[in-house]
Structure 1
Amino acid sequence: MSATDVTRADSKEEASTETEAGPAESPRWTVRRVGALLAPALIFLGIREFGLLVLTWMAAVTDRSVTEALRSWDGQWFLAIAEGGYRGVPESLVDAFGQRSAETPLAFFPGYPSVVRWFAGIDGAGGIGLVSASFTVTTVSGVVCAYGLARMGQHIRGGSRRTGLILVALFAATPMSIVLSMAYSEAMFCALAAWSLVGVLERKWLLAGICCALAGLVRSTGAALVLAVGIAVVVAIVKRRDGWRPWVGGLIAPTGLVGYLTWVGAQTGEWDGWFALQERGWGTGFDGGAATVKFSLEALADARSVLEVATVGLIVVGIVLLAIGIVRRVEWPLMTYAAAVLAMDLFANGLMNSKARLMLPAFTLLIPVALALARRRPSTAVLTLCALAVAGSWFGAYSITSWGYAI
């Protein structure tokens, strides 16, 4: 075959490929492609909208305002800090013992209220209002987290795109997922934590470090993320992987959490100022799990409320899922993070009714469930997720309408 024939054959092959697949530089935006791109957001928002519909129904039955319910308890503190800063919080807001000092507001991390304040001020002097801004920031954070979880599901051992989407649905349907629609900081923290862990799995150490640092400005649970990212960084350095990037990511990771705790210490005049505020204001401190065990036994003995009995059940489920994840060899950074979140929750005393909510950031516990459902028939997976969404939506709505105490 001559050179001319070869050239003609190559040209025909290129033309054929271009006809079948289209030019590589201009992919077609088909309905299926757009649907695949929007799937994590649509799944998350769809389940959360169902949860809000259930909340609307239960709020009407109990004669509660939906908006008031969604900004209750910690939401009042975050909105007050967003409006007036730490020094502008109204005196009417008090701690769990009905007390208040100038330092009490410092118990709440600044990340979420700062973003709410910035967002509320975007549209000129009036802005969109702090309440609307808080709900918008929470919702956007939830969507960002959904995309992080969808990506995480593709990187885990045995994972796939389907696994990632199921993980998103499980996260949106968890029993205390109502806080993913409230003026609470969990959604923002989970978004940053998810992408930090994705950075670890993909060995994108700058992404992991930056998201970890920002998460440390949002919630104290950032300590669990710092632990997971820190260990992963040490392993990468010991194995001499990725050059200078693990070093930089590892140095950045703890800056948010350490920086805020140090600042609170300087403001209170106590090196452990933030922990002292938690102890004095909410009776929260580490006791090795003694208070959690006592609470669980008492709640099961007299079955005094649905929320408390369900909380004990969720604690057991969380521990079991952690064990399954370890046995199934889910990536160790993900299990390290989940174990640390559980330890911070269950080994502390304080408000026992918040245990279920404080487990929400341990979303990597859901990975074994997502892997199992991904292997089942689509109908089985959909029915299971629908049942979980119904149960989770009711429980969340019950916790802020019928239940009379802080969650």
Structure 2
Amino acid sequence: MSADTAMPVRAPEPQPADGAGTSRRSERVREALRRAAPALGLYAAARLTGMLTMAAWAWWIGRHPRTTLGLAWDGTWYTGIARNGYGQVHPGAGWAGLHFSDVAFFPLFPGLMRGVATVLPIGLINSGLLVAWASSAAAAWGLYAVGERLHGRRAGTLLVLLWGLLPHAIIETMSYTEPLMTALAAWSLYALLTGRWVWAGGLSLLAGLCRPNGIAVAAAVCCAAAVVLWKDRRARRNWRVWTGAALSPVGWLGYVAWVGAREGSPLGYFAVQRGWGSRFDFGYDALMFIRHLVIGLSRLGYYVTFALIVAALLALVFLALDRPPLPVFVYTLVLVVIALGGSKYFASKPRFLLPAFPLLFPAALAMARARQRTVVVTAGALAGLSFGYGAYLLLVAPMPM
């Protein structure tokens, strides 16, 4: 499927009466949800089993599962922002020369946490988990929608299942931003593939308020718009294309500009990131860490991370050979470059790649063509790895996720 055929630019159509239009849209949503229901059921079963596995382990070692899911690592920072707003700065205990500022974290997720906690009397920890779980469900539906459109229902279902059985899939049920980012990205890409430019731009704007690598969604929207505007003269008169492209980077640019004004420098956000030890070094730090793994000994999680990075690079090659639509490939490529090109936090790189779901297309297509028995055995093996390793990461591994 080429980028042109996948992204039709539709001329404005006559709008039906409000009642008829609402009824028609509701029927389309119900039909889409009915088609996605098997994939969503499999995803829910996978993640529920993973959480129960983690919960049993947590109770066994004397830890509370809810607190562990809601306050582990970055979850503590998001809860603090939701409760008190921005302004926390901590010295990097054990990290020489570093200082950690909470403005490194983008505002959409803690904002949603605070909003839910204001409406529902469930507290901030439960609110964060509710937002994360709802985002995971929306992401699974979005993955299915993109997969079904590009490769059919079976491949779409297997894509969702694979995403729910990744070794780091436990993060999809934690108070982290990756589920929300994935949901916004998937539906933005789906909007592009179906010619809904304003929706694509609006969702990209929200993705840019969610995570630093949300800029990958804007890159996909802008590249798609540039190609369509160049190839199709009629598109140049379509305000929806221009609006979608203009909206797409606003969230990311707006937050970076706000941090810059707060820090007193246009590049203030990147100075904050350097305070965390994060900078883009074209992968030099990651290569040095891999060299250390090859010639020395380290913890299990780092070797798993190395293996997952290799798998991601191979999947990117296979994805490129499959010639996906332009926005899908641009989005994935930008995510991979940001994740692997950044310094520090080597063990977190698989988490940074969680939103890069198109990397799973080659595996989903291979499974879609395989025999049922092969699919069941493969899914069972992945489930065992995902449930066990996820609990290990959250409860045992002494490294940031």
TM-score when normalising by structure 1: 0.85
1:347-402 CA-to-partner distances (Å, cap 9, x unmatched) read 11121121111111111100111111111122322321222122122222111111
Is the 2:319–2:361 contact (alpha carbons within 8 Å) kept by the matching residues of 1? yes
> Among residues 99, 104, 107, which one is paired with 2:101 in the alignment?
104
Q: 1:220: which partner in 2?
A: 212
CA distance change for structure 1 residues 143 and 327 in 2, over 3 Å: closer, same or farther?
A: same
Which residues in structure 2 correspond to 1:237-386 (within 5 Å)? 237-240=229-232, 242=235, 243-280=238-275, 282-386=276-380
Is the 2:192–2:221 contact (alpha carbons within 8 Å) kept by the matching residues of 1? yes
Q: 2:84: which partner in 1?
A: 84
Q: 1:11: which partner in 2?
A: none
Greater displacement, 175-184 / 326-335: 326-335
Q: In the aligned structure 1, how far is the partner of 2:159 from the partner of 2:86?
A: 37
Q: In the aligned structure 2, how far is the partner of 1:187 from the partner of 1:153?
A: 17
Q: 1:402: which partner in 2?
A: 396
Q: In the aligned structure 2, how far is the partner of 1:365 from the partner of 1:112?
A: 25
Please tell me the root mean square deviation across aligned C-alpha atoms, in Å.
Answer: 2.3
Question: Are 2:43 and 1:44 aligned?
Answer: yes
Cα drift, residue 292 of structure 1: 0.6
Q: 1:16: which partner in 2?
A: none
Q: 2:63: which partner in 1?
A: 64
Is the 2:67–2:125 contact (alpha carbons within 8 Å) kept by the matching residues of 1? no
1:87-122 CA-to-partner distances (Å, cap 9, x unmatched) read 4x5x77967738897x81111100000011101111
Q: In the aligned structure 1, how far is the partner of 2:91 from the partner of 2:279?
A: 22
1:129-157 CA-to-partner distances (Å, cap 9, x unmatched) read 1111111110110111111111101222x
Is the 1:142–1:180 contact (alpha carbons within 8 Å) kept by the matching residues of 2? yes
Unaligned runs of 5+ in 1: 1-24
> Among residues 380, 386, 391, which one is paired with 1:392 in the alignment?
386
Is the 1:300–1:309 contact (alpha carbons within 8 Å) kept by the matching residues of 2? no
Q: In the aligned structure 1, how far is the partner of 2:220 from the partner of 2:33?
A: 34
Is the 1:77–1:93 contact (alpha carbons within 8 Å) kept by the matching residues of 2? no
Secondary structure, aligned partner of 2:212 = coil
Cα drift, residue 331 of structure 1: 2.2
Is the 2:39–2:158 contact (alpha carbons within 8 Å) kept by the matching residues of 1? no
Q: 1:21: which partner in 2?
A: none
1:293-347 CA-to-partner distances (Å, cap 9, x unmatched) read 1111212333421100000000000000000111122223212211111110111
Q: In the aligned structure 1, how far is the partner of 2:75 from the partner of 2:168?
A: 15
Is the 1:210–1:253 contact (alpha carbons within 8 Å) kept by the matching residues of 2? yes
Secondary structure, aligned partner of 1:121 = helix
Matched AA of 1:278: Q
Is the 2:143–2:156 contact (alpha carbons within 8 Å) kept by the matching residues of 1? yes
Q: 1:174: which partner in 2?
A: 166
Between structure 1 and structure 2, the one with the greater Rg is 1
Which residues in structure 2 correspond to 1:68-217 (within 5 Å)? 68-70=67-69, 71-87=71-87, 89=88, 97=95, 104-123=101-120, 127-156=121-150, 159-217=151-209
Cα drift, residue 33 of structure 1: 10
Cα drift, residue 63 of structure 1: 3.7
Q: In the aligned structure 2, how far is the partner of 1:349 from the partner of 1:33?
A: 41
Q: 1:5: which partner in 2?
A: none
CA distance change for structure 1 residues 293 and 179 in 2, over 3 Å: closer, same or farther?
A: same
Q: In the aligned structure 2, how far is the partner of 1:257 from the partner of 1:348?
A: 18
Secondary structure, aligned partner of 2:223 = helix
CA distance change for structure 1 residues 348 and 104 in 2, over 3 Å: closer, same or farther?
A: same
Is the 1:62–1:402 contact (alpha carbons within 8 Å) kept by the matching residues of 2? no
Is the 1:48–1:181 contact (alpha carbons within 8 Å) kept by the matching residues of 2? yes
Is the 1:44–1:142 contact (alpha carbons within 8 Å) kept by the matching residues of 2? no
Cα drift, residue 185 of structure 1: 0.8
Is the 1:135–1:181 contact (alpha carbons within 8 Å) kept by the matching residues of 2? yes
Secondary structure, aligned partner of 1:86 = coil
Is the 2:318–2:362 contact (alpha carbons within 8 Å) kept by the matching residues of 1? yes
CA distance change for structure 1 residues 67 and 295 in 2, over 3 Å: closer, same or farther?
A: same
Unaligned runs of 5+ in 2: 1-23
Number of aligned pairs? Answer: 369
CA distance change for structure 1 residues 182 and 99 in 2, over 3 Å: closer, same or farther?
A: farther
Is the 1:40–1:168 contact (alpha carbons within 8 Å) kept by the matching residues of 2? yes
